Chains A and B, each alone.
Chain A
Amino acid sequence: MKGRTIKRHFRESFKTLSRNGWMTFASISAVTVTLLLVGVFAIIMMNLNKVADDIENDVEIKVLIDIIEDPNQAKEAEDKLISDIEKLPEVKEVKYSSKENELNLLIEDFGDDLSLFEQSNPLRNVLYVKASDPQQTAKVAKKIDALDNTYEVVYGEGKVEKLFSFLNTSRNVGLILIVGLLFTAIFLISNTIRITIIARRDEIEIMKLVGATNAFVRIPFVLEGMWLGVLGSIIPIAVVSIVYYNVYNVLQPRLHGELVQLLDLSPLLYQVNALIIVLGIFIGVWGSFMSVRKFLKI
């Protein structure tokens, strides 16, 4: 294809955009509305997912260690236990907390009354274990329980399972909703594009009759679809960015130090905006490509 022809295709795609004013407006509006929905939904879903992750990652296994009188033997047993746990493939990290430390934590939470216990600490040394996949917590806990010198292994049995099944369900529901929304978007936008192309089927027919190749007919339409996608993603990108920026700046200071955090502006906004524009272009191009195809068989 000659450079002159490529230029012509670009010129032609711009010309038809402005010439079919209302049709262009209708297509861009359809793209805008659906991409806005997709964008908002993606941001909400990604944040909910983050919340779910935060909650999951907070799940840990508390291992109470057997009390051994002789300090040397105790040290040896604890070291062996730690290294045994670390050897488990599902384990991400193991933190050691001495009984003195445990007591301090309790005193912090419940007040100085407990400082009496400093004379004779009834607590045990503790290991905090996190699974690399929080969903494996129960399994890991069971394995640890089987090791020597563990007095008790606690991980919120029952509650954790319920929490995980709740989080998994909400993730799946969110995923189904997003997929459904994407299909709706593709259907709606390609349908609008199809209408604009049906209005121009005569043009395609004439092009074919005077000997235009399919590519020659198709390229301006496909470029036009691309512009529709690009133009249709401007408003969604602006709205999503501005709204999330403001929501983040209002909410984030209040969530400081909390378990649940919003996703940072970067990279989230880049990701979502890239999703919006890529989706817009893809749907525009694909919609045009498929709609023209029908009329090329002349």
Chain B
Amino acid sequence: MIQMNNVVKKYPNGVVAANGISVDIKQGEFVYVVGPSGAGKSTFIKLMYREEKPTSGEVIIAGTNLSTLKNRQVPYLRRQLGVVFQDFKLLPRLNVYENVAFALEVIEEHPKTIRKQVMDVLDLVGLKHKVRMFPNELSGGEQQRVSIARSIVNMPKVVIADEPTGNLDPETSWEIMNIFEEINARGTTVVMATHNREIVNAIRKRVIAIEGGLIVRDVDGGDYGYEG
């Protein structure tokens, strides 16, 4: 599902955030990406949804080689992915329903389909009763749930999350993790960059540790491996 072959990413300022990364993530896997700040986790994530282009090497997502992907084809790649961020990235002027529906509107989905799918995912994340509320009326955990709902509403094969619990208290983080597990249980690949030791150690999954732009450890059911 996700394949990287010897990927190098050098930023214009000279920082090398990926220094020959190779990895293979299968359909339906749940993968944590861990490592110290500035180790290249975010770049690793950004390479997957083509916010960053590799300097050299190959990134292949769901059969699409991102190295040769033309700029105008990028939107179609992203429609097959769901992306969740630490800061939620919700549109403040849209209510919960509209924020989620937005992901389907931009791909010109039929209004009837939009209504059904949006209500389905809001049910999944447990926010069906708050559809008319605006992001600033919600707690952090609720906002993150809206953001997750938006990322999965178009039924992507892969959900990519960049520190989704980074801004949340521990209890809320567990709720969010439950949702990710449920998404994963439905067959969706989940790749999650995280700093949350408790979660990684409790919900055991494949752990990829990145340091200095290299994968230093890749263990199924591994632990977080860094001292909190």
A residues with CB within 8 A of B: 1-2, 4-5, 8, 19, 202-203, 205-214, 216, 298
Contacts and interface: CB of A to CB of B under 8 A. Distances in A.
B160 to A, nearest CB: 10
A19 B93 contact: yes
Given A205-B89, A209-B49, A211-B107, 20 more contacts: A2-B108, A4-B111, A202-B89, A203-B91, A206-B90, A206-B91, A206-B102, A209-B51, A209-B89, A210-B102, A210-B106, A210-B154, A211-B76, A211-B77, A211-B103, A212-B75, A212-B106, A213-B106, A214-B72, A216-B106
Given A5-B108, A202-B91, A210 B78 contact: yes
B150 A210 contact: yes
A210 B98 CA distance: 13
Nearest to B99: A206
B18 interface: no
Contacts of A298: 51
A211 B78 contact: yes
B175 to A, nearest CB: 23
B128 interface: no
Tell me which of B79, B102, B105 has the highest count of chain A C-beta atoms within 10 A of its own C-beta: B105
B45 interface: no
B83 interface: yes
Contacts of A211: 75-79, 103, 106-107, 154
A271 to B, nearest CB: 41
A213 B154 CA distance: 16
Contacts of B106: 207, 210-213, 216
A15 to B, nearest CB: 9
Contact residues of A: prevailing secondary structure:
helix
| Closest 10 pairs (CB-CB, A-B) | A212-B106, A211-B79, A211-B78, A210-B103, A211-B75, A213-B75, A5-B108, A206-B89, A2-B108, A209-B83
Contacts of A214: 72, 75
Interface string B108-138: 1001000000000000000000000000000
Contacts of B77: 211
Contacts of A203: 91
A261 B221 CA distance: 92
Most buried by A among B75, B102, B103, B111: B75
A146 B188 CA distance: 97
Contacts of A213: 72, 75, 106
Interface in B16-58: 49, 51
